[in-house]
A and B are shown apart, each in its own frame.
Chain A
Amino acid sequence: MATTQGSLRTTGLDWQWRTRDFIVSAALAVPLGLVWSFAYGFVWLTARGIQPLLGDVFDGFYIVGGVLVGYVIRRPGAALLGELLAAAIEIPFTGFGAVVLWLGLVQGLGVEIVFLATRYRRFDLPIMLLAGAIGALVAVVGYSYPAEGWLGLAAGVQIVRLVLKLVGGAILAGLVGKLIGDALVQTGVLNNFPIGRGREI
């Protein structure tokens, strides 16, 4: 890692994970994983309790961790790591316990797949929306069907819920994630990360 000649400021792909990438991924995951639930989870969790379908759109928020970290770090595994970290961080603080790890895994995989498909080169709005949606999709396949028993629901209801989840993922994770990422780039705090590289400081 030592370098004495020239600058390491690459404009191409920079695959090597630095310590700060890990720590900052965790740092980003903390507010995303927790602040939502502290401040507002109360509200929509109660809503879910009364009528779960309402929650389907809001579930997208849980995917924003993976999307944002993937957007900022732009390396293989970033999105998955972001989701897993957000899930792991949540565990000691909420009553949901270990099940969130599985959710984090499947959601993270979904987002990661989309970024992987573009070889981690494309991070424009359509890809971000897709990433959020696919994250939700994989969660539906990996959790909602097996564990939440969607198969027993009326076909129409299944479709509605699926659409709600996909839309929620695309908007609340994909769009919001991109907006947050862009806003952070403007603040200048991300200048040392792949998302901020290539900018004039």
Chain B
Amino acid sequence: MRAFVWYAEDSFLHRLNPLTKLAACLLAAIVVSTAGEPVTPAIVILLALASTRGLGKVPVSMLCRTLAFGLLASLGVFWTYTVFYGGSGEPWLYGATMAARLLAILSSSAMFVLTTDPSQFVRSLIHQARVSPRIAYSLFAAYRFVPLLQVEFETIRAAHQMRGGVGGGGPFGQIREIVGYAIPLLASAVRKGERVALAMESRGFGALSAQQRTYFRVTTINQADLWFGVGCLLAAATLIALRRIQ
């Protein structure tokens, strides 16, 4: 059963408001996307990994596991972009820049994912981002559906295979098989969704506006968020300035 990738722990990063971390990811993405050399992204990678390990207390093994695919993808990016380079500079430098950029974006994203409780994320959307509870709570419901639908998917797959499978082998057969599973799974999802919606409304959901209803758990912005934000901005400014100097 697939569980959340999030690593539960009590650390500085864990206690930050999720939107602050999200903003940091966005900042990182902007900084590396405007950089034309691999050094800036490389530094961002280091910063992201170090802070996840240091400020977030995430074990190195978890970091590696999360970024494994990213590493693979960036290797692919490296050699593809090198080969297909169409500009006037060094092809391998371009490939390295792009690969590093991808890794930088993924590393900062990983920082977010590994240190953020999904429920807290949804709450920050409600309280800080002013997302309507009707949307946010459907996200909660979605997280609830995940293990259910996973089990259903496995059962449907077993059932279809028992009946002899729909596909016929090869990639197209596989695709037809997926579509074969998709319909019962999605139909089941819709049914469950309707029932959950009815149950939620029967308990008064949606009757009161977002301001009128109360909240069991809230997320806040506090000093730590401000410090973290300032720190990120400083780092970004430094990197951009260094680039100018180069």
Contacts and interface: CB of A to CB of B under 8 A. Distances in A.
Query: Direct contact between A and B in the complex (CB less than 8 angstroms)?
Result: yes
Interface of A: 17-20, 22-32, 34-36, 38-40, 45-46, 48-53, 81, 85, 88-89, 91-99, 101-102, 146-149, 152-158, 176, 179-180, 183-184, 187, 189-190, 192
Contacts of B105: 99, 147
Nearest to A193: B190
Contacts of A92: 4-6, 113, 116, 118, 121, 143
21 contacts: A22-B135, A23-B138, A23-B141, A25-B138, A26-B139, A28-B186, A30-B142, A31-B189, A34-B150, A85-B139, A92-B116, A92-B118, A95-B67, A95-B69, A98-B21, A98-B22, A147-B29, A148-B98, A149-B81, A152-B81, A189-B187
Contacts of A179: 179
A52 B73 CA distance: 8
B227 interface: no
A158 B205 CA distance: 49
Given A19-B205, A30-B189, A38 B2 contact: yes
Interface string B114-130: 00101001000000000
B153 interface: yes
Given A20-B197, A22-B134, A40-B174, A97 B192 contact: no
Contacts of B181: 35
| In the complex, the 5 A-B pairs of residues with the closest C-beta atoms, listed nearest first | A97-B109, A154-B86, A27-B193, A49-B72, A20-B197
B17 interface: no
Contacts of A46: 72
